[in-house]
Structures are given as structure tokens and as C-alpha cells.
Amino acid sequence: MAGDAGNTQGKTQEKVQGPVQLGVIQQADFIAGLGKGLSVLGAFDVSRQRLNATQAAQRVGLTRAAARRYLLTLQSLGYLDSDATHFWLTPKVLQFSGNYLASAQLPRIAQPTLDELSAHTGGAFSVVVADGAEVVIVARGRDSLRSAVAQLPAINDLPSRAAQQLSQAQAHARSMMSMAQGLHLGARLPMHATSTGQVLMASWSAPQLKAWLDQHVLKALTSHTLTSASALEQRLKTVRSNGWCCASQEHELGVKAVAVPVHRRDGKVVGALNVVLGVALHAPTSSHSSTSSGSDEDLIQQWLPWLQEAAQRLRTMT
């Protein structure tokens, strides 16, 4: 994706197969076949769970014949299954994510803290890391909104007006619970349109940010999404100054999020921690106002201390 949405002429849609990062590896050391094979494997996602050879070739930028050979090879290795026309991922690919989650320090350290936050507030908390144009969820609180819904009183025990308000709150909370469950481990979200992504981008150097903007288009996901490089850069200045980010309906309508960076002891930003909230679900359950429809300022005042305290705790452990 590239800087300004209005300045995309002459730029092609980003392929799954990215350029060789010569700053990391020399061209002579790069195994093109391995890179293409992994690109084919990465072509499968939520929007395209089943691909034929033609579709895979288009997504990766290969010929159909080459894509077919890679698909068949991955099938023979057990990473794909097929009905002779379409291919799809098998559970074997989880071996990689499982090994990462078991060995990487941040997910292991963050999980107990996220569970504690969720238990105390009923919020949907996640920790993410950056990966190209996206952030990837590597840890999330368990049963957060489910416990919040369970704590709501029975409608029959309340006066009619309160019962109506509670019914709306329950419906909203269940909707949020469904959305939060969709933010599973390994879920990938656009960097530019999420609170966590903007927190991570705010930690980058000016050359690093410019290089990223030159390579990526800022796609509009809602009417609130920042789609110009100048607007995003201005937002990142504010995020950098504040030390936190509040993104309101930029990734999905009806959803807000507040995020803070996660630092190592040496000060390097290694991830971001956020809480995802519905527009009418702003306050922790412990405050007895879980259906408040307050302003962004109220949201920040209520949730930011939880996030900052948790991020500080994680910093002492990394």
C-alpha cells in the first residue's frame, strides 16, 4: 500500500511476494524458489481460503504453471489439501505459529497480564507485533467480554426502562464478544487503521516511516480511516507526544480502541497493547458503567491507566 490514496497512479497492487530486503540479506544468498513457495503459502487468507492455480498465480505474481507446481509441492509436504481443482491450508501450518507462540518471549510474558486485565475489567485486550503492512495478534485476554456479559443482571429483576437499556447493552456486548472472538491469535489487521499499528509506527524513525509510506497504499476501510500520508503523519506526531493512541471507527464502524506501546527494558518498542471497545461500551465493568456512551476523553480516562500499568509491568519482564 502507498502514502496518499490519491497518488496511486502507476502503482500496482501489492503482491504477496515482497522484494528482497538487501539490508538484511545479500541477493546472492537469497533462495528465490523458497521465497516463492512461502509466498504461495501466504496467499491463503480469510478472504481467500480456497485457491486454484490461476488465483494463486495472480495473488503472488507467478505464471499459472509455476504456481501449480508450488501448490502441488506444498500439498505433498502436507501443508495444503486439494480436491484436484482448489487447494486449502491444513492444520500442519499451525506448527509454525505454535512454535512461535511457545518460544517467543513477548506472548508468553503477556498472557497472564492480559488474562488478569480481562478478568478485572471485562475488556478485550490484545498484544500485537508489526509484520509488513499489518499487525499480528500474538496474545489476547481469555473470556473477557463473555465474563462481562455474564455479570449483567437479569432483565426480569429491573424496572421496564432499565430493562430496556440492559437489553440493548446485552445485545451490544454480545456483538462485541463475537467481534473480539474474531480477533484470534494470529489475526492480521491493517497497520495504518488500528490503534496498535499507529502506536508501532509512531516509534519508527523518519526514514523508516517514509520508506513504509512509499511502499503501501492507505486503504479506506471506513469513512474514518486516514488515507493520506500527511494525515497519518500528523496523527503519529500526536501519538508520539502522548505515548498512546485512540482510534475511533477507523478499522470497523462501531468499534474504538486505545493502545500503548510495549517496551523492552532498554526502551525499544517491541509490540503494542490495546483494548477494543464498542462505541457504547466504554467503561470497565468494575466501574458499573459498562454501557456508557461517553466521549473519547472519557474512554481514555477510564481505560488508559489499565493499559499503562500493564505495559509498565511487561517492560520489567522483557
Say if residue 272 is in the same domain as residue 311. Answer: yes
Say if residue 204 is in the same domain as residue 147. Answer: yes
Please tell me the total number of residues recorded for the chain in this structure: 318
Asked whether the beta carbons of 226 and 192 are under 8 A apart, the reply is: yes
Q: Note the pLDDT of residue 160.
A: 57
Helices (H) and strands (E) in the chain, counts: 11, 8
Asked whether the beta carbons of 67 and 58 are under 8 A apart, the reply is: no
Closest among 268, 96, 269, 113 to 185, alpha carbons compared:
96
Asked whether the beta carbons of 263 and 315 are under 8 A apart, the reply is: yes
Q: Note the pLDDT of residue 57.
A: 97
Say if residue 130 is in the same domain as residue 57. Answer: no
Q: Note the pLDDT of residue 278.
A: 78
Domain containing residue 270: 104-315
C-alpha cell at 76: 505433498
For the chain, what is the domain count?
2
Q: Is 88 helix (H, G, I), strand (E, B) or coil?
A: strand
Q: Note the pLDDT of residue 203.
A: 97
- Whether 253 maps to a domain, the answer reads yes
Beta bridge partners of 87: 51, 82
How remote is the C-alpha of 2 from its chain's centroid?
19
Q: Which residue has the cell 500496482?
A: 12
CATH number at residue 278: 3.30.450.40
Say if residue 221 is in the same domain as residue 87. Answer: no
C-alpha cell at 53: 492455480
Q: Note the pLDDT of residue 275.
A: 95
C-alpha cell at 274: 490495546
For residue 260, give the H/E element and its range: strand 255-263
Say if residue 224 is in the same domain as residue 89. Answer: no
Say if residue 144 is in the same domain as residue 270. Answer: yes
Q: How far lies 207's CA from each of 20, 66, 194, 201, 250, in Å? A: 18, 36, 21, 12, 25
Say if residue 205 is in the same domain as residue 180. Answer: yes
Q: Note the pLDDT of residue 214.
A: 94
User: Mean pLDDT for each 10-residue chunk of the chain (318 residues)?
Assistant: 38 40 71 94 90 96 97 97 97 86 87 94 93 92 57 48 52 51 79 98 96 95 96 98 96 93 95 86 47 68 95 89
